[in-house]
Amino acid sequence: MSATTPGLWTNRTLRHMNAPSPASLGTENLLVVEDEPIVRDVLCRYLERAGFAVAEAEDGEQALTMVQTLRPALVLLDLMLPRLDGLEVCRRLHLSDPPAVIMLTARGDETDRVVGLELGADDYVTKPFSPREVVARVRAVLRRTARSGSLPTNRSVLRFGELVIDGSSRDVRLDGRTVHLTPKEFDVLLLLASSPCRVFSRLEILEQLWDFAFDGDPATVTVHIRRLREKLESDPSQPHHLVTVWGAGYRFEP
Say if pTM beats, i.e. exceeds, 0.85: no
Cβ atoms of 116 and 105 closer than 8 Å: yes
DSSP E strand boundaries for 26-144: 29-33, 53-57, 74-78, 100-106, 123-127
- Mean pLDDT of the 2-12 span: 41
- Looking at residue 13, its pLDDT comes to 52
Is the bond leading into 22 cis (omega within 30 degrees of zero)?
no
Statement: residue 30 has pLDDT above 80:
yes
Q: Which domains does the chain have, with CATH numbers?
A: 11-147 (3.40.50.2300), 151-252 (1.10.10.10)
Rounded to whole angstroms, the Cα distance separating 244 from 254 reads: 14
In the sheet that holds 29-33, the strands lie side by side as 53-57, 29-33, 74-78, 100-106, 123-127
For the cut 50, the answer to whether the pLDDT of residue 120 exceeds it is: yes
Question: DSSP class of residue 33?
Answer: E
| CA 78/CA 32 separation, integer angstroms | 8
Write down the pLDDT at residue 127: 86
CB 113 within 8 A of CB 125: no
Tens digits of per-residue pLDDT, 187-233? 899 999 988 899 998 888 887 776 554 455 677 888 899 989 999 99
Average pLDDT over residues 234-246: 92
Q: Confirm if 65 and 74 have CB atoms less than 8 A apart.
A: no
Other CB atoms within 10 A of residue 80 CB: 16
Rounded average pLDDT over 63-83: 91
CA distance to 14, 191, 206, per residue, from 1 (Å): 10, 48, 43
